A and B are shown apart, each in its own frame.
Chain A
Amino acid sequence: MTRSRIYGTVGIAWLVLTLAAIAYGTRLALVVAPTEATMGNVQRIFYYHVPTSMLSLLFPYVNFIASICYLAWRKFDPMRALTADAVAIAAAEVTVVYSSICLLTGMLWGRAVWGIWWTWDARLTSMLLLWLLYVSYLMLRKLSATGQTNTLAAVLSVFAAIDVPIVYMSIQWWRTQHPAPVFFGGADSGIDPSMMPAFGWNVLGWAMWGVFLLLFRYGLERRRQESEQASALRAIEGTLEIAQ
């Protein structure tokens, strides 16, 4: 059995388990979990909003670590640096996907509960800034024509990662419209134990899905790098042919 075939089989098995976890988590969230006393059924957005928000603060660190590795390896081990670069772009895209979902589901929830789609409070604004930073990162990679694009993007990623702890701490540092932390937020924080299974399964399912997307996108970037190397090789071979 070839290595790519083993990866394919493991990937499909992982995807099936992931979809099963998401389906079960969704069922628990919509059907089994109790209706929240104050907000009613719209509170069930919580089971998608909070796990995706948590993950949107984790993937930037994958991008950050990969970018540091790229910067460290690019001079003396370029092939290894390309691997780190592929991880970095995959993590940045997954961050944009998860943070977009966090912002959009938050707006839908906010309109139903607060009566407004948006407010410029510290949590919402710092999260929007995070989204903008990673969109800028991807645009830089797509549009920049210099030979230093990967290095510039890696440096931007280091600055972007600084926003992550600010987003996390914003609801503790400042008084915000956004609720206080549900977990690790002191004596009054936490959710009813009957809501925990729905929350836990959605965290698991969306984390597994995030890992799947990350590895799938990484694989795609490696194929692109191989394709670019093959094109460069063909160009060199073409030049040699003309010279002869």
Chain B
Amino acid sequence: MKLSWIFGSSMEAHHLLASYLLVWLIQGGYAAWIAWQWVRTGKELQSGLSVSSEIDNDL
């Protein structure tokens, strides 16, 4: 079966395409948000740990 019908102008084609795109968008968006937070928290953690070890040395 060819896939070209999915880009047609019927309501069923629009809704099917919208459903699949929506799923990828929501799942991909959530995964991207976790990845971004992961990097951000990693940076915070690294800077926090280095400050903490500096204080240890001072004490």
How far is B42's CA from A224's CA once the two chains are assembled, in angstroms? 9
Please, how many residues of chain B have a CB less than 8 angstroms from a CB on the other chain?
34
CB within 8 Å of A: which B35-59 residues: 35, 37-38, 41-42, 44-45, 48-49, 51-52, 55-56, 58-59
How far is B9's CA from A111's CA once the two chains are assembled, in angstroms? 16
Residues of A within 8 A of B45 (CB): 223, 226-227, 230
Chain A residue with minimal CB distance to B58? A241
Name which of A38-46, A147-155, A176-184 contacts chain B.
Answer: A38-46
Please state if A31 and B1 are interface contacts (CB–CB under 8 Å). Answer: yes
Please state if A48 and B23 are interface contacts (CB–CB under 8 Å). Answer: yes
Query: Min CB distance, B28 to chain A, in Å?
Result: 10
Query: Min CB distance, B14 to chain A, in Å?
Result: 8
How far is B49's CA from A231's CA once the two chains are assembled, in angstroms? 9
Known A-B contacts A45-B19, A101-B26; the reply to A216 vs B31 at CB < 8 A is yes
Please state if A234 and B34 are interface contacts (CB–CB under 8 Å). Answer: no
Name which of A102-110, A119-127, A189-197 contacts chain B.
Answer: A102-110
Please state if B3 and A213 are interface contacts (CB–CB under 8 Å). Answer: no
CB within 8 Å of B: which A49-108 residues: 49, 52, 93, 97, 100-101, 104-105, 108
Q: Which of B16, B30, B37, B59 sits near A45, CB closer than 8 Å?
A: B16
Query: Min CB distance, B25 to chain A, in Å?
Result: 10
Cβ of A170 under 8 Å from chain B: no
Residues of B within 8 A of A111 (CB): 11, 15
Query: Min CB distance, A58 to chain B, in Å?
Result: 16
How far is B13's CA from A203's CA once the two chains are assembled, in angstroms? 23
Residues of A within 8 A of B23 (CB): 48, 52, 101, 105
CB within 8 Å of B: which A199-236 residues: 209, 213, 216-217, 219-220, 223-224, 226-227, 230-231, 233-234
Known A-B contacts A233-B52, A237-B52; the reply to A227 vs B44 at CB < 8 A is yes
Known A-B contacts A220-B38, A227-B41, A237-B59; the reply to A42 vs B20 at CB < 8 A is no
Q: Which residues of B contact A (CB under 8 A)?
A: 1, 3, 5-6, 11-13, 15-16, 18-20, 22-23, 26-27, 30-31, 34-35, 37-38, 41-42, 44-45, 48-49, 51-52, 55-56, 58-59
Between-chain CB contacts (< 8 Å), 18 pairs:
A30-B20, A40-B12, A41-B16, A45-B15, A45-B19, A48-B19, A49-B19, A97-B26, A101-B22, A101-B26, A213-B30, A219-B38, A220-B34, A220-B41, A223-B41, A223-B45, A227-B41, A230-B52
Q: Which residues of A contact B (CB under 8 A)?
A: 26, 30-32, 35, 40-42, 44-45, 48-49, 52, 93, 97, 100-101, 104-105, 108-109, 111-112, 209, 213, 216-217, 219-220, 223-224, 226-227, 230-231, 233-234, 237-238, 240-241
